[in-house]
Amino acid sequence: MAGRRHHDRDKEPPELNITSFMNLMVVLVPFLLISAVFSQITILQLNLPSSAAATKNNKKEIRIEVVVRRNQIEIGDGVRLIKRIRNTEEGYNVKALSNVLLSIKKKNPNKKDATILMEPDIEYDALVRLMDAIGTAEVVQGLSVQKVVLFPEISIGDAPAGKGRKG
């Protein structure tokens, strides 16, 4: 028995054969890279109002304010209400909002900025959909659909307390 233990010590450890492991990695790594879903992050450009902008806008230029309430959207010019759009069963009526803003844009083609004023309970997803509707509109011309730039410079703020809270 003593001779057997001595014989085991003289034996070299077996060499590792990693060829099959390397073959697996060569196949697995490209497969994982190809099948991976790369997320795309879209950034929406926001402009926060400044005191310099307030002094610059002393001339009679229309202000576009979209007040988003829980049960409706109110479009105003800062002084008076232009249009009130009630929610549909699916949620905010984005199509009607686009149509109203399109008519405002036709009357004021050089206007590029608008303000969204939101109540605190509004979901972020609704904000993004409304920002898309304020920034661009789809217009059907003949058999094609054209994207029209409405008001790409969007500012965000808190909605004033108003009648839209009931509902």
Reported as a single tens digit per residue, the pLDDT across 154-164 is: 888 888 887 54
* Summary count for the chain: helices (H), strands (E): 5, 7
- The pLDDT of residue 66 is 93
What's the burial of 112, exposed, middle or buried (CB within 10 Å: 0-12/13-18/19+)? Answer: middle
Residue with tokens 């400044």: 50
pLDDT at 56: 53
Q: What is the mean pLDDT of residues 16-45?
A: 80
Does the pLDDT at position 4 exceed 50? Answer: yes
pLDDT, residue 163, reads 58
The pLDDT value given to residue 12? 81
Q: What is the DSSP letter of 36?
A: P
Kindly state the percentage of the chain with pLDDT values over 90.
Answer: 25
Q: What is the largest CA-CA distance in the chain?
A: 107
Residue type, 67: V
Model confidence at 166, pLDDT cuts 50, 70, 90, reads very low
Angstrom distance (rounded) from CA 138 to CA 107: 18
pTM: 0.61
* CATH class for the domain made up of 62-159: alpha beta
- CA distances to 12, 13, 49, 164 from 2, rounded to whole Å, are 19, 20, 90, 95
